[in-house]
Amino acid sequence: MSLLVEEDISQLQIDPLSYRRYNCFSHYRRTGTTRMSQKIIDNWLSLAEYDLATAQDMLKAKRYLYVAFMCQQAIEKILKACYVKHHTSTPPHTHNLLRLVAELPCKADMDAKTLEFFEMLNSYYIESRYTEDVEELSKVLTEAKAVLVLKSTQELFGWIKARL
């Protein structure tokens, strides 16, 4: 069995991110296609918006841990869209929102409260993978807390999106 080469992506008729998640820019960096950069930004944004809508659905379903998890995912993906826009390269392979923000020009416009919010969202990604942490977080995440996390995420999401 032979592996597909980068030029074969077009024959598959799928989005480059679907085919090559971790190295989606290798072909486009060589060709210098800025239009493709916008397509990748739009893809990250679409995924982020989907995750934010999923967070809203999880709130309706009273699955509060997943509200917080999907909020973290939505912010992570919109930050990766910003990263692609500003660096024209593949974003770092991290789920750490503070690390992503550190490499973006918009960090200079963020206050300490916003950075603390990123840190809080980080905990919902990292800790949610382990059974004992899921049980602990589920106890702490009340409906009121989930509503607050979602509302804050929506505001932050809009602020970041305005900078894309």
Model pLDDT, residue 15: 46
* Per-residue pLDDT tens digits for 84-143: 999 999 999 999 999 999 999 999 999 999 999 999 999 888 554 566 777 777 788 999
Model pLDDT, residue 134: 73
- The pTM score is 0.77
Domain coordinates in residue numbering, the chain: 13-161
Level-2 CATH architecture, domain 13-161 = Up-down Bundle (1.20)
Cα separation, 28 vs 56, in Å, equals 35
Q: Using alpha carbons, list the distances in angstroms from residue 32 to 7, 37, 152.
A: 15, 9, 37
Phi, psi for 152 (deg, rounded to 5)? -65, -40
